[in-house]
Amino acid sequence: MARHLITSAIPYINGIKHLGNLVGSQLPADLYARYLRGRGHEVLFLCATDEHGTPAELAAAKAGKPVEEYCAEMWQVQADLAEGFGLSFDHYGRSSSDQNRKLTQHFAGVLADNGLIEERSEAQMYSHADGRFLPDRYIEGTCPNCAFEDARGDQCDNCGKLLDPVDLIEPHSTISGSTDLEMRETKHLYLLQSKLKDDIDAWIDSQDGWPVLTTSIAKKWLHDGDGLQDRGITRDLSWGVPVKRGDEDWPGMEGKVFYVWFDAPIEYIACAQEWVDAGKGDDWARWWRTDKGADDVRYTQFMGKDNVPFHTLSFPATIIGSGEPWKRVDYLKSFNYLNYDGGQFSTSRGRGVFMDQALDILPADYWRWWLLSRAPETSDSEFTWEAFQTDVNKDLADVLGNFVSRVTKFCRSKFSEDVPAGGTFGDAEHTLIADLQTRLTAYETAMDNIEIRKAAAELRAMWAAGNEYLQSAAPWAVFKEDPEQAAAQIRLALNLIRIYAVLSAPFIPTASAKLLSAMNTLDTDWPSDMKKAVTALGEGHAFTVPDNLFAKITDEQRDEWSARFAGKRD
């Protein structure tokens, strides 16, 4: 049994996430965590909300609430939605926790002690009306490139051009609306990442088998243009981790906070401390400190490709620069984008299906199966309602659901709601068992390698093999001439239901639980040996016929949902 630490990119607090966000980090991380637990490994699966920074302040102001209250409410919303989608976090933390505040200040202190933090002066926009320096996102105006009137101080959402606040035409504060702005000098702390470039480069080169997407992005940031740059790690904001050097005040940094991209990744570690403090675990250090036993932990991160630079460069710079024995990631699984019906999902414009809306119209397993089986691993993929309807109806309803329904209902009508006795397995049954063993090996290999689409294809092939066997064996016809042989065929098929439940649990955990309940068993042992697994439910074992596992999506539903989610949310 191995020990596995798993984290997914922590979602930002400002609003409910769409399905593209879900499939890019949390959902595949949950799939992997569930699979490893099913194989008997010890797993610590952590996630949290990312709560600091300008967008949180803006969202809270828009909601008319204090930022602390807003973040607490949105944490609960996101935690509830995670539970609704069956995300099996061992702990779902908060980057605003006391643990993260103390740990962030600790890292800042040791980095400064190691000569890796420098104070620099820079010009930043100051609002006289607001009495404060304004982060770039607090400033809007007309884009000088495309004349879009609502361009932000860092980027124009219309043409995509990167901007500085001084580039904007008629800039104004998004807080007060004031145009009484001026550039003014302010001081900030910089992490001297450039001093760590060679260390980070060598560390990335030492990683074996990382996805091409991950390493190509990291190398591009390291070597293209000016290479790895020093990075500002403080901001003139009121909401965030106060700038301190460990437990000590930092002269000249009063009233400032650490930049969200400095403190947010540190929350991965702090989340384990929260897990212990919440009474869920007893030793966070054995997962995160290599001098406390974390050497034998395999650490896997999941995230969208836009987060890769921060997790392969900036956070490792913090860890390496500290000189302390912190666990570093062993495998970073990154994903391309899931697009929506000819365009892009958009949180700001409300285009596409968001997590709360998805659960309002269909159970989580429908979404889990489709998103994972179409995961954007090697290229961007696209959600369309036609593809969603086709795959759900074919894979879940026609293949898996139909198999379970036919087997259990036939057994009830011709035998009873007990596993029937009599008969022996013949060539067809042994051929099926051998085929399933081969498929299982391929499934396990794909899951071990975190090749999600391949794993989904192998799982579906195992479901299909049961249907093909049933169609070929035709127990309803055999029953008329040889009831005992039909009993053997159905006995095998009933055991396949238990096997399918166990193997499918990482993808569709709710349906899996329903199948195990219907089969009246708590036996979730991994079916490593198919010859034994197909006899786990013995003769006379009672079961019940489950309700319809998956309802088909109608054309009317498809068209209604397509129209409903094409526009902006209220």
Q: Which residues are annotated as a binding site for Zn(2+)?
A: 143, 146, 156, 159
Alpha-carbon torsion, ordered 261, 263, 269, 275, to 10 deg: -120
Alpha-carbon torsion, ordered 389, 390, 394, 396, to 10 deg: -30
Rounded CA separation 564/10 (Å): 29
253 and 234 Cβ atoms separated by less than 8 Å:
yes
In sequence order, the 6+-apart residues with CB closer than 8 A to the CB of 205 are none
Q: Retrieve residue 22's tokens.
A: 């879900």
332 and 301 Cβ atoms separated by less than 8 Å:
yes
User: 20 exposed, middle or buried (CB, 10 Å; 0-12, 13-18, 19+)?
Assistant: buried
Rounded CA separation 280/272 (Å): 10
CA separation (Å) from 126 to 166, 186, 527?
Answer: 11, 10, 64
The annotation places the binding site at: 143, 146, 156, 159, 347
Neighbours of 444 (CB within 10 A): 17
Q: Retrieve residue 259's tokens.
A: 């930049």
CA separation (Å) from 53 to 126, 136, 142?
Answer: 17, 11, 24
Rounded CA separation 175/419 (Å): 69
* One-letter amino acid of 504: S
- Sort residue 483 into left (φ over 0), alpha (ψ -120 to 50) or beta: alpha
The DSSP call for residue 410 is H
CA separation (Å) from 148 to 132, 143, 151, 565?
Answer: 26, 5, 6, 25
Q: Please, what's the b/e burial string for 270-302 (b: 16 or more CB within 10 A of its CB; e: otherwise)?
A: bbbbbbbbeeebeebbbbbbeeeebeebebbbb
**Max Cα-Cα span within the chain:** 93
The annotation places the binding site for ATP at: 347
In sequence order, the 6+-apart residues with CB closer than 8 A to the CB of 356 are 16, 77, 81
To which H or E segment does residue 319 belong?
helix 315-322
Three-class DSSP labels, 118-164: EEEEEEEEEECCCCEECCHHHEEEECCCCCCCCEECCECCCCCCECC
